[in-house]
Structure 1
């Protein structure tokens, strides 16, 4: 039996993903519900916290952008029920706070989904390598690197050197249990699909409304 978030509730096969009650809005929906998107993003942050303290900058940045969006949402939860409406309302008033926060949150989610994608691909092809660093660098080059200046790139390079091994990552994502790799892979695959669909929808929304900025942070 499955639960509403798509993950399996069986206790002996639970992973850090199973603990997430939050889910991302459906890609098929016309617009994305702000609260669902923020709860889904907060759930991703909880997963990334399991990667270790070395990922603290990623966690901090995501939480900061989530807080900015949540603060605006709480000013009028009815008008800002959908994230697209919030961004367009800000655009009409020549604002950029939420638009910028959502852009960077989307980019962070894109980075994480690409990292998960490469971990899954590594597993599916039976790789015996346990080095997470090359997968991190590949995901970074595909997502965040074009928007980072020299300092941001150097920070990432340092961070990647202290990343856990893939085997250690499986262990911590399995809630410190051995022999649960397949359960981690199963749940990671579900979450990756959810993130990717929302990232794709938000990217198209920004392109269609000429909202994307390309300055380096």
Structure 2
């Protein structure tokens, strides 16, 4: 799927919602707004289209499937799901964990994406495949079965050359670096909050 970059803009101008615009309520245990989070997560999955390989389709579909699980719970119990934390705690109280498990996997996928992009931003001479492979090893790989690992490994190997990837993101490389750093910083913050929350005993179903 091709992504149309507006003249003078970057790929970040094409997404519906940035993680930098996801509300976080510091007064309420860093509550993350469910609706905006899901929209930002959905927007981020279009990054895998930009990578231009069908090998990334399982990665994208995995994230979209988990977004769907969380959204279904949000739609089923909107008053109890305004923040992701409230959604999880209320779902668990109801004796269910479909969305809670979906969010766990979604956060792993977002952590993988954030770490890959951060590694590539901070290491200007490193190819994308190395950044994605390193990020995979520290995030998703320990949780994947021997059946799933080769599928994701194939995606890492199918990553385009660094120069080709950044060229697809727009013409102004300085502008791209600024926009990507803003997005990755915001994503890292959200992931850190959710990983801390998910480590709490009351946020687990097992």
Q: Do both share a fold (TM > 0.5)?
A: yes
State the 1:76 CA deviation. 3.1
1:44-95 deviation per Cα after TM superposition (whole angstroms, max 9, x unaligned):
0122221122211111011111111111111232321111111111111221
Query: 5+ residue gaps in structure 2?
Result: 1-5
Give yes or no for the alignment of 1:37 onto 2:37.
yes
Output the CA distance in 1 between the equivalents of 2:201 and 2:9.
Answer: 41
State the 1:134 CA deviation. 1.4
Give yes or no for the alignment of 1:139 onto 2:135.
yes
Output the CA distance in 1 between the equivalents of 2:90 and 2:200.
Answer: 15
Give yes or no for the alignment of 1:208 onto 2:200.
yes
Q: Is the 8 A contact 1:65 1:105 kept in 2?
A: yes
Structure 1 length as normaliser, TM-score? 0.83
Query: Measured at CA, do residues 75 and 107 of structure 1 come closer, stay the same or move farther in structure 2, by a change above 3 Å?
Result: same
Match of 1:197 in 2: 189
Provide runs of 4+ in structure 1 moved above 4 Å.
Answer: none
Match of 1:172 in 2: 168
Query: Measured at CA, do residues 203 and 75 of structure 1 come closer, stay the same or move farther in structure 2, by a change above 3 Å?
Result: same
Q: Which has the higher helix share?
A: 2
1:9-32 deviation per Cα after TM superposition (whole angstroms, max 9, x unaligned):
xx6541111222313324563311
Count of residue correspondences: 195
SS in 1 for 2:199: helix
SS in 2 for 1:73: helix
Structure 2 length as normaliser, TM-score? 0.87
